[in-house]
Structure 1
Amino acid sequence: MHKPLLTTDFLDRARTHYGDQEAVVATTGERFTYGELGERVDLLSAALEERGIEKGDRVAVLDPNTHYHLEAAYAIMQLGAIHTPLNYRLVPDDFEYILNDAGVKAIIADHEHAEKIDPVRKSVPTELYISNDASATEGDWEDFEELLDSSDGDYDRPEMTEDEVITINYTSGTTGDPKGVCRTHRAETLHAYLISIHQEIRDDDVYLWTLPMFHVNGWGHIYAITGMGAKHVCTRGIDAEWILKTVRDEGVSYLCAAPTVLNMLIERYEETGEDTTGSNPVRAATAGAAPPEATIRAIEDDFGWYLKHVYGATETGPLITTSDARRLLPEGAERFSIKKRQGIGYLGTEIRVVDEDGEDVPRDNGTIGEIVVRGNQVMDGYWEKPEETEEAFSDRIEGYYHTGDLAVIDEHGMISIQDRKKDIIISGGENISSIELEDTLFEHPAVADAAVIPAPSEKWGETPKAFLVPANGDPDEPGTSAEEITEFTREHLAGYKVVHEIEFVEELPTTATGKIQKFELRQKEWNEEDRMVGEG
């Protein structure tokens, strides 16, 4: 039997079986059951349809992790329109590009971020502007709640097929203009099934939204949490004190957080020693960068949480691997060295590490190659960018998405990223992993955060340079010295990997999902060079 896989099935299931169960804890203080959530979604679908939104139209959502975002996403998809979430940390020029690139017909924006849209209204094709608080929004915006109040909830759900695009997610754009990643009903559904299995999502879970919903639809959690009938706890931002309090007060059992967020929580815990759990045991998923072993130790040993390290990209759904392979983990503290690896492929996901000729590298945990992937959760392609799509699937080996991440693979098929393809440091002919250097620097007690990039060197072509955020927060008086840091790396690393160039900074540039934007750091270092690679 063939039944189409549709993203609308997730809310339909929750309404059918969990209609009287609490679905959402809103940032406004309101609480909604799945029945109430579904009614609000229907009202919004009808209001959008009345204003001309049809199947295939792109509708953008610019919103932090509120109930409005959840409602907007499902209301859009019920009409067969294409949910296009936007990164709220972008600037007006970015929004102008995306709204034009996707041909967005309508936008639903949070009142705190709508001001970034007004400057570009005359230069984009968008016709309908909705705010969750029009009275607090400059310009001409319709009010979200007033739309619901005036709607009868009666809309026509069109016939949909699983191979139709239902969401466009824009990449971070750290190396150029963002690209729209096209995802179908089928890809979104199968990815949600996979995270439900590998992240062990249950109907009694209480999920805290510390991960941006706009990021590949919150790693698919807008579907999986909903479809399983679990509870969403919404947020407007990241605050360590608030997160730990909410974990306790709401009995949070599951959350996702980049390593930078985990480190914020650890700092808070070290200051206060407060309880880190409520009525439920907590598991956390992290991605975006390989967490240092010290971070994993603190989360598991001090917090008592269970940490899952996962990996992927916007183009891959995103999640394609997990380090949560318990039969492969050694006992005791040795498990941390394995848990920081990106791990093994999700069910139905083929992960390979290949050389320049597209041949698999040996499973020797030492030979570096590029990660390529095939799976049902991988994108169909980039929005109206056929050449970029072709390149992404055919660079080294035909038919696999090429991640651009360089990794080694061990005897179990467990991968460990060594660097981005463009970020690998080649100094005097030797390949140096910036991740290995960062992991070492994290172990120094005076270092709170670190990023290592290749810097130009007359002698070596390239040499590692470290940008360090001091633990005391003061780059002028960091509590250590560049000489001490250099000596620390000399004690822990091979001689050719020692970091001689060090700059203390107040913060590192990051994307909204916590990924350090090394591209910005490289641009700064290579500004006077005619290209951003060395000739060592």
Structure 2
Amino acid sequence: MHKPLLVTEFLDRARNHYGDAEAVVATTGDRFTYDELGERADRFSAALQKRGLEKGDRVAVLDPNTHYHLEAAYGTMQTGAVHMPLNYRLTPEDFSYMLEDAEVDAIYADYEYADRIEPIRDEVPTETFITNNADAVEGEWEAFEAVLEDAGTDYSRPEMSEDEIITINYTSGTTGDPKGVCRTHRAETIHAYLITAHQELTDDDIYLWTLPMFHVNGWGHIYAVTGIGAKHVCTRGVDAGDIFEAVQTEDISYLCGAPTVLNLLIDYYEETDPETTGANDVRIATAGSAPPEATIRTVEDEFGWYLKHVYGATETGPLITTSDARRTFDDDDAARFAVKKRQGVGFLGTEIRVVDEDGNDVPRDDASIGEIVVRGNQVMEKYWNKPEETEEAFSDRVEGYYHMGDLATVDENGMIAIQDRKKDIIISGGENISSIELEDTLFDHPEVSDVAVIPAPSDEWGETPKAFVVPQSGDPEQPGISADDLVAYTRENLATYKTVREIEFVEELPTTATGKVQKYELRQEEWEEEDRMVGQG
């Protein structure tokens, strides 16, 4: 039997079996059952259709981890429209490109972030603007609650196919404009099934939203947590004290966080010695860069939490591997930390290979380095309106596999460990930063003659952007501008998280005979005291 896999079925199932159960603890203090969450999603669906939106239209959501995000997402997808979550750390210029590129028909924006849409609203095709606090926003915005009240609950759910695009998640590319990652009902559904299994989700889980919902739909947790009938505890950002308090007061059993979040929690724990659990055991998933063994040890031995290290990319669902291979370690054995640092083994139904430049698998000797390629049902369909980039992503070394751009080794058990990056990208605190974009920004400054940006090791962020700048004066001792001024310049022109953190003035950059900058030499120098050329937590 073939039954279509549709993302709408996750909320349908929760309403059917857990209608009276608490579904969401909102940042406003409100609490909603699954019946109530479903009704609010229905009202959002009806509101969109009354404003002329149809199946296939795009609806952008700019929101931290609130109940409004969940309602807007499901309300959008129930109409067959495409859910497009936006990274709230970006600039108006970033949003302008994405909204125009995707030809977005409506946008819901949280009141704290609507001011980043207001300056560009005349530049984008959007006609419907909704916010959760219209009184706090300049311009003409409809109020979310009034929109829901006026809409009623009647809407028409169109017939949908599992192969249709249902979400677009924009990712910053290493070159060129941002790319819209198109994901189908089928891909989202299978990914949610996979994380339900590998992250061991059950209906009595209580999930704390520390991971941004805009990150590939919260790593698929907007689906999986809902479909399994578990509880969402929403947040408006990451605060270590609030996390520990929520763990205790809401009896959190599961959360996610990049290594930087783990570091924040550890710092707070060492300063204040909070209680680390409530009534439930706690497990936490981390990804981005591999956390150091000391971090894992503190989380597990002192917090008493169980850590799962996972890996992936926006294009792959995101999650494709896990280090939670318990037959390779004992829970009370310190040797487990070395295993948990690795990116691990492939998820069910996911084919992970590490291949050399000829597309051949490297030996399982934990020494030979190749690029990670993946094939699985959770991998994206395509990039929105970018056929050439799509073709390249799936056909570089091996035809038909998505190429991750990460270089890794494989051990005898088939567990991968990232050693370096092929892509010109920096992963700082779990956020992807294009070094090319930073270089282009710095090049625009009149006091900069040449520049190269690389990742530098950071205890706090795993890795952080560092710029080697050849000043226009030609003299690194008298550059004509301060490093602080150049840092401020990037902050003024880019999203805050993309800001270059360190500037080193140099007389010249290392180049090849043809004049190409040898960033590898700069990276080797920066990372010579590290055991690999990627950041760790």
TM-score (norm. length: structure 2): 0.83
Question: Is 2:225 aligned against 1:225?
Answer: yes
3-state secondary structure, aligned to 1:320 = strand
Q: Kindly state the Cα deviation for residue 449 of structure 1 after the two structures are TM-superposed.
A: 4.8
Q: What letter matches 1:420 in structure 2?
A: R
Change over 3 Å in CA distance of 1:525–1:326 after alignment to 2: farther
Q: What letter matches 2:355 in structure 1?
A: V
In structure 2, the residue matched to 1:104 is 104
Q: Kindly state the Cα deviation for residue 172 of structure 1 after the two structures are TM-superposed.
A: 3.4
Unaligned 5+ runs, structure 1: 426-433, 443-447, 459-475, 477-504
In structure 2, the residue matched to 1:351 is 352
Change over 3 Å in CA distance of 1:423–1:48 after alignment to 2: closer
| Cα distance in 2 for residues equivalent to 1:227 and 1:357 | 42
| Cα distance in 2 for residues equivalent to 1:286 and 1:527 | 40
| Cα distance in 1 for residues equivalent to 2:114 and 2:506 | 36
Question: Is 2:171 aligned against 1:159?
Answer: no
| Cα distance in 2 for residues equivalent to 1:449 and 1:92 | 25
In structure 2, the residue matched to 1:301 is 301
Q: Kindly state the Cα deviation for residue 177 of structure 1 after the two structures are TM-superposed.
A: 2.1
Q: 8 Å contact 1:258–1:513 — kept in the other structure?
A: no
What is the 5 A alignment of 1:224-373?
224-329=224-329, 332-373=333-374
Change over 3 Å in CA distance of 1:290–1:189 after alignment to 2: same
Change over 3 Å in CA distance of 1:41–1:408 after alignment to 2: same
| Cα distance in 1 for residues equivalent to 2:5 and 2:123 | 37
| Cα distance in 2 for residues equivalent to 1:316 and 1:526 | 39
3-state secondary structure, aligned to 1:295 = helix
Q: 8 Å contact 2:323–2:339 — kept in the other structure?
A: yes
In structure 2, the residue matched to 1:25 is 25
| Cα distance in 2 for residues equivalent to 1:217 and 1:526 | 42
Q: 8 Å contact 1:457–1:534 — kept in the other structure?
A: no
Change over 3 Å in CA distance of 1:387–1:525 after alignment to 2: farther
Change over 3 Å in CA distance of 1:364–1:222 after alignment to 2: same
In structure 2, the residue matched to 1:451 is 463
3-state secondary structure, aligned to 1:80 = coil
| Cα distance in 2 for residues equivalent to 1:149 and 1:394 | 50
What is the 5 A alignment of 1:72-111?
72-111=72-111
Q: What letter matches 2:367 in structure 1?
A: G
Change over 3 Å in CA distance of 1:87–1:388 after alignment to 2: same
Deviations 1:427-483 (A, max 9, x none): xxxxxxx99x95xx85xxxxx45537898799xxxxxxxxxxxxxxxxx9xxxxxxx
3-state secondary structure, aligned to 2:408 = strand
Aligned residues: 471
What is the 5 A alignment of 1:422-441?
422=423, 438=457
Change over 3 Å in CA distance of 1:8–1:513 after alignment to 2: farther
In structure 1, the residue matched to 2:381 is 380
| Cα distance in 2 for residues equivalent to 1:534 and 1:247 | 43
Change over 3 Å in CA distance of 1:250–1:525 after alignment to 2: farther
Q: What letter matches 2:244 in structure 1?
A: L
Q: Kindly state the Cα deviation for residue 289 of structure 1 after the two structures are TM-superposed.
A: 0.8
Q: Kindly state the Cα deviation for residue 334 of structure 1 after the two structures are TM-superposed.
A: 1.3
3-state secondary structure, aligned to 2:213 = coil
In structure 2, the residue matched to 1:469 is none
3-state secondary structure, aligned to 2:335 = helix
| Cα distance in 2 for residues equivalent to 1:29 and 1:138 | 25
Change over 3 Å in CA distance of 1:252–1:332 after alignment to 2: same
Q: Quick one: percent identity of the two aligned structures?
A: 69
In structure 2, the residue matched to 1:216 is 216
3-state secondary structure, aligned to 1:389 = helix
3-state secondary structure, aligned to 1:267 = helix
In structure 2, the residue matched to 1:207 is 207
Q: What letter matches 1:171 in structure 2?
A: T
3-state secondary structure, aligned to 1:197 = helix
Q: Kindly state the Cα deviation for residue 17 of structure 1 after the two structures are TM-superposed.
A: 0.3
What is the 5 A alignment of 1:27-46?
27-46=27-46
Change over 3 Å in CA distance of 1:159–1:449 after alignment to 2: closer
